[in-house]
């Protein structure tokens, strides 16, 4: 008798292969953060600010932001429009007629997102490192990538929530809009200190800010900030609970 | 329950709001048997199959597959299914035929080997083909391949040839028959009598959520193909006419006698022998339930 673990591994491998075949995902996850980094990493006027806010250079500060951006986009793409269309076309229901349990289906989708986020964070930091050549110890690089990887978890759950809640035609634009708004408000595009105070207070609650902050702390202090982690765990639970509720509701509608 | 029963449905009811889609279905399928679930749209076929597969829970009644609950039977790989997926393909994007079959087979405790699955489904030479390059008939074979990955003891097919052209339908049923010959029981839903007659040894007719007939195709044809014998007769004895062979129903209005008969030839012979004087004799199709007329007249498109 097989246990569930090889089934989950099998599903994860199948999902990852399919995701990596899609050219759209490369554009969605890497095109924007790479382009924005190449255009803006050399912005000398932001340097004093970066030193004041985070104790590091703007090139490093902005690298963390764009690394977080890439990880967020990658993690959320495992759900979103792909999930919506698989629900609509009947593939998800056909999978329910196999021994793959529904928790393993959800876990497989989330792990796919998280694995893609790791690849995206690695790719972005390699490109950024090659271009900007920031002077960072290897441990800081590793800590930043680890932070972006762990911090992508709530966004994998968010992608699944959007895929479940939005129809096939709405899921893609809804995903782009939600991710863009969260990224901009979370200070990934413009650093948070340039926002008015009231907006900074809102931004500090958002998972995007917390992910970038986790990354910055990892680079400058070689440590994972527990407050950031607590926020990210809370967001993960919130998105996952909403997705589970949405899934149950959809089952009732079908019945 | 006898060891040879692979599916046992008892007193199944399933209600959606105020409508009762399945209103008391009893159905047993023996190991290796091929059974058609025949009925017009809305008869409750798909709902019955969804309950058997554990996708819906019954409002009342019991379903066991191989002696287990539907969920357990799915988890143990006793049952494979091909359901209707409307406009969607029911299949994932960006994958190849062989890759998809290997993945689905890997989920089962004791699957058929992927090459055997591809051979049974007639896909051996399409293993490396991308799914988005397949024709409708080939996609249907892929769905069939996924349904047999488990090496199931019961195969459920819900209107599997809808949307296929006639040659694709023929070759699809040949594939199913060849696989069933290996000992797997098959329960399939259809609204074509011809399809049921060609493939299934036994037909269960579902109408408004009830089983209205269960038997071989010939048995069912006999019970449902009522004919109406009508004639004028001035002096008749209702008792004699009612007692004529094969008469199910007797009606008399304005001197016109109307007899519903399961065998109009026998009824007419009996009428002549009874010495009744009659004129204007005519034999027509009886006013069968519209649904069943639709079934018997409609051929697969």
Q: What is the pLDDT along chain A (255 residues), one digit of tens a residue?
A: 456 668 999 999 999 999 999 888 888 888 889 988 888 888 878 888 888 888 888 889 999 999 999 999 999 999 998 999 999 999 999 999 999 998 899 999 999 999 999 999 999 999 998 988 888 888 889 999 999 999 999 999 999 999 999 888 899 899 999 999 999 999 999 988 889 999 999 999 999 999 999 999 999 888 888 999 999 999 999 999 999 998 888 776 554
Query: B283 with B268: CB under 8 angstroms?
Result: yes
**Which chain B residues are closer than 8 Å to A11 by Cβ?**
103, 107
Distances (CA, A) of A161 to A70, A232, A245, B127, B204: 19, 16, 9, 34, 42
pLDDT at B295 over 60: no
Q: What's the pLDDT band for B52 if we cut at 50, 70, 90?
A: very high
pLDDT score for B223: 64
* Kind plus residue range of the DSSP H or E element containing B35: strand B34-38
State the smallest CA–CA distance between residue B238 and chain A in angstroms: 51
Q: Could you please report the per-residue DSSP string of A236-247? A: HHHHHHHHHHHH
- Which among B53, B75, B85 has the least Cβ separation from residue A99? B75
Residue keyed to tokens 């699955």: B117
Alpha helices by DSSP H, A133-225: 138-151, 153-165, 168-185, 197-203, 207-221
**Of all residues in chain A, what percent carry a pLDDT higher than 70?**
96
| Spatial distance between the Cα atoms of A117 and A114, rounded to a whole number of angstroms | 5
pLDDT of residue A38: 87
What one-character DSSP code corresponds to residue B149? T
What does the pLDDT read at residue B299? 42
Measure CB to CB from residue B90 to each of A10, A22, A89 and give the nearest one: A89
As to burial, measured by CB atoms within 10 angstroms (0-12 exposed, 13-18 middle, 19+ buried), residue B237 is exposed
Which member of B81, B89, B107 has the closest CB to residue A99?
A: B107
Rounded CA-CA distance A128/B301 in Å is 61
Average pLDDT for residues B21-37, to the nearest whole number?
A: 94
pLDDT digits (tens, 9 = 90+) for B150-198: 999 999 999 999 888 889 999 999 999 999 999 999 999 998 877 888 8
Smallest CA–CA distance from B83 into chain A, residue:
A94
Give B208→chain A minimum CA distance, Å: 18
Structure tokens at B25: 């279905």
B55, B80, B92 member nearest A91 (Cβ):
B92
pLDDT tens by residue, B68-82: 999 999 999 999 999
Does residue B115 carry a pLDDT above 90? Answer: yes
Q: What is the mean pLDDT of chain B?
A: 87
The ipTM assigned to this model is: 0.89
Between positions 4 and 43 of A, the ones with CB within 8 A of B are 6-7, 10-11, 14, 17-18, 21-22
Whether the CB of B81 is below 8 Å from some CB of chain A: the reply is yes
Partners of B89 on chain A (C-beta within 8 Å) are 89-91
Residue B50 reports pLDDT greater than 60: yes
Task: Provide mean pLDDT across the span B46-56.
Answer: 94
**Residue A255, pLDDT score:** 45
The answer, yes or no, to whether residue B289 has pLDDT greater than 50, is no
Q: Is the confidence at residue B285, as pLDDT, over 70?
A: no
What's the mean pLDDT in B199-227? 80
- Secondary structure percentages of chain A, helix, strand, coil, to 5: 85, 0, 15
pLDDT of residue B222: 64
Which residues have a Cβ under 8 Å from the Cβ of A226 and sit 6 or more positions away? none
Residue of B nearest to A97 (CA): B74
Of residues B230 and B145, the one with the higher pLDDT is B145
Residue range B7-25: average pLDDT?
93
pTM value is: 0.83
> Half-sphere exposure of residue B236, counting CA atoms within 13 Å on the CB side?
25
Q: How far apart are CA A153 and CA A109, in angstroms?
A: 11
pLDDT tens by residue, B258-271:
888 878 888 999 99
pLDDT score recorded for residue A252: 63
């Amino acid at each position: 008798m097989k246990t569930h673990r090889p089934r989950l591994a099998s599903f994860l491998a199948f999902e990852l292969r399919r995701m990596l075949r899609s050219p759209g995902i490369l554009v969605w996850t890497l095109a924007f953060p790479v382009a924005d980094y190449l255009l803006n990493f050399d912005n000398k006027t932001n340097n004093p600010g970066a030193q004041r806010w985070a104790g590091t250079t703007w090139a490093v500060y902005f690298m963390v932001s764009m690394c977080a951006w890439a990880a967020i986009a990658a993690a959320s793409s495992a759900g979103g429009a792909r999930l919506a269309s698989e629900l609509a076309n009947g593939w998800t229901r056909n999978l329910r007629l196999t021994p793959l349990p529904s928790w393993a289906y959800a876990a497989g989708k989330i792990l796919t997102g998280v694995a893609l986020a790791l690849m995206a964070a690695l790719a972005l930091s390699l490109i950024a490192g090659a271009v900007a050549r920031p002077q960072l110890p290897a441990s800081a690089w590793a800590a930043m990538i680890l932070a972006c990887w762990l911090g992508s978890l709530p966004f994998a759950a968010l992608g699944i929530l959007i895929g479940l809640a939005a129809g096939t035609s709405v899921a893609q634009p809804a995903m782009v809009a939600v991710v863009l708004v969260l990224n901009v408000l979370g200070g990934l595009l413009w650093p948070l200190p340039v926002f008015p105070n009231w907006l900074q207070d809102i931004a500090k609650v958002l998972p995007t800010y917390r992910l970038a902050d986790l990354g910055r702390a990892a680079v400058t202090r070689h440590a994972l900030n527990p407050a950031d982690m607590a926020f990210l765990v809370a967001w993960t639970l919130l998105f996952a609970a909403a997705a589970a509720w949405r899934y149950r509701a959809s089952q009732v509608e079908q019945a | 329950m006898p060891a040879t029963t692979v599916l046992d449905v008892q007193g199944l009811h399933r209600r959606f709001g105020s409508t009762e889609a399945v209103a008391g279905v009893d159905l047993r399928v023996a190991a290796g048997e091929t059974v058609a679930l025949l009925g017009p749209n809305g008869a409750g076929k798909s709902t019955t199959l969804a309950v058997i597969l554990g996708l819906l829970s019954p409002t009342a009644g019991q379903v066991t597959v191989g002696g287990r609950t539907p969920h357990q039977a799915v988890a143990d790989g006793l049952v494979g299914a091909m359901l209707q997926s409307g406009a969607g393909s029911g299949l994932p994007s960006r994958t190849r035929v062989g890759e998809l079959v290997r993945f689905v087979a890997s989920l089962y405790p004791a699957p058929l080997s992927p090459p055997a699955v591809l051979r049974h489904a007639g896909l051996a030479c399409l293993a490396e083909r991308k799914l988005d390059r397949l024709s409708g008939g080939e996609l249907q074979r892929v769905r069939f391949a996924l349904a047999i990955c488990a090496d199931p003891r019961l195969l459920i097919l819900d209107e599997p040839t809808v949307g296929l052209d006639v040659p694709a339908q023929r070759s699809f049923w040949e594939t199913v028959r060849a696989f069933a010959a290996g000992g797997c029981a098959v329960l399939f839903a259809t609204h074509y009598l011809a399809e049921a007659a060609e493939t299934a040894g036994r037909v269960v007719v579902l109408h408004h959520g009830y089983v209205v007939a269960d038997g071989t195709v010939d048995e069912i044809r006999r019970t449902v193909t009522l004919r109406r014998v009508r004639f004028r007769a001035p002096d008749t004895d209702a008792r004699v006419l009612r007692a004529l062979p094969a008469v199910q129903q007797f009606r008399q209005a304005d001197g016109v006698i109307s007899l519903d008969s399961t065998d109009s030839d026998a009824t007419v012979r009996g009428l002549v022998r009874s010495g009744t004087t009659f004129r204007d004799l005519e034999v027509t199709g009886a006013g069968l339930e519209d649904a069943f007329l639709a079934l018997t007249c409609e051929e697969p498109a």
